């Protein structure tokens, strides 16, 4: 009969990962908000009837949209990974308790 490999999960480390991801998610709120709403420039801020000024404000708007989408996607990834890590932690914790219970502990 083939020997089964046993793996052990460090629940405290997994819990630490969940906590760090939650903190990172919270820390992302300000940059996400700032890039979306705090970096706007008016269409006339760099001059009027000046082609390069229009090109620059247009490039700024495109970059602002790109950064906003990128940071939102990153925060979504962090939240998704954090939720999955939390779920895995709960499953392993439940399995550990079930094992202890079945052994009379």
Q: What is the DSSP string of 9-38?
A: --HHHHHHHHHHHHHHHHHHHHHHHHHHHS
Q: Hunting for tokens 């969940």 — which residue is that?
A: 18
What is the per-residue pLDDT across 54-105, written as a single tens digit (0 to 9) for each?
A: 888 889 999 999 999 999 999 999 999 999 999 998 998 888 888 888 887 6
Q: Where are the domains of the chain?
A: 72-98
Length, in residues, of the chain: 105
Tokens of 66: 């790109």
What is the per-residue pLDDT across 66-75, written as a single tens digit (0 to 9) for each?
A: 999 999 999 9
């Amino acid at each position: 009969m083939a020997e089964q490999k046993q793996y052990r999960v460090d629940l405290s480390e997994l819990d630490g990962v969940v906590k760090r991801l939650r903190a990172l998610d919270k820390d992302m709120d300000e940059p996400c908000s700032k890039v979306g709403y705090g970096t706007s420039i008016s269409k006339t801020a760099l001059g009027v009837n000046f082609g390069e000024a229009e090109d620059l404000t247009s490039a700024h708007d495109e970059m602002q949209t790109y950064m906003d989408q990128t940071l939102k996607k990153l925060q979504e990834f962090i939240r998704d990974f954090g939720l999955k890590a939390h779920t895995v932690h709960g499953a392993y914790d439940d399995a550990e308790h079930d094992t202890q219970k079945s052994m009379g502990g």
